[in-house]
Amino acid sequence: MSEKKVWFITGAGRGMGLNIAKAALAAENAVVATGRDPDNVRRALGDSDDLLVVKLDITSPQDAEAAVKAAVERFGRIDVLVNNAANFYAGYFEELTPEQMERQLTTSLIGPMNVTRAVLPVMREQRSGHVISISSSAGLAGFEYGTAYAASKFGVDGWMESLAPEVEPFGTHTTIVNPGFFRTELLTKESTNYATPSIADYAERNAAQHEFWESQNGQQLGDPTKLAQALLTIAEEEQPPRRFIAGADAITTAEQHIATLQQQIDAYRGLSRSLAAEEATARN
């Protein structure tokens, strides 16, 4: 690394956030590692002069503001924000409660917004910075049993795409990361919550889906340590990508989605073009 950067990472006590924090420290950067339980974060990362552990529940704007203030007081700046903390509410939409949908959106969409809102004034004053938000291939294409999760990740992608032109004039870059299946802790019992089966019409498929998702924990093909290194590489680029499709399976998902979109465009191109107002059609 050409110079030490200050990384601010949410959900740094375990899973992908822990891998990113370890990689950033190993590359001789300063790291603000945050989590709801700072003791767990400290146990996971140990002690370092370049490490600041801060309590942060991303659903709390007050926590976000306090954590950012502590980071600036310790290191003077924030160069890279990694919005990583998330959870997973799995289940068929009709069986997911409104409260479960709200909790999914609050953690995986509103939470990153809370943290980013607190960090952006720091980056704007610096006239530099990089906001990296960990989305998912579910932010590109929805999937059965994933209505809540995909809704939150589609929200992250739309928010970040719209944020990019707003903050770029201040020297702040943005990157959406769309990982495929990585061997993180998202599918553990601590991070995954299931809808309670309640509708007979879904019963058979529900059982099969539940069994599938539980079986995937620890079997994912992606290596989170390699993803962490990839993020370090991206963060060093003068013009980092606005989107990084992470993993061979994520590339497959993205390419299939692009192909499906193109097919839908082509199938209804004539009908779509017929919708112009008559005066516009006359001018053309």
Q: What is the DSSP letter of 108?
A: I
Residue pair 235/80 in contact by the 8 Å Cβ criterion: yes
Q: Which two tokens stand for residue 193?
A: 């919550």
Q: What is the DSSP letter of 182?
A: B
CB atoms near residue 275 (< 10 Å): 8
Is 149 tagged catalytic?
yes
d(CA 51, CA 71): 10
Catalytic residue among 92, 145, 149, 194: 149
Please name every residue paired with 80 in a beta bridge, in sequence order, or none if there are none: 7, 130
Residue with tokens 């924990």: 217
Residue 27, classed as helix, strand or coil, is coil
Residue 131, classed as helix, strand or coil, is strand
At 95, which amino acid appears?
Answer: E
Catalytic positions, written as ranges: 149
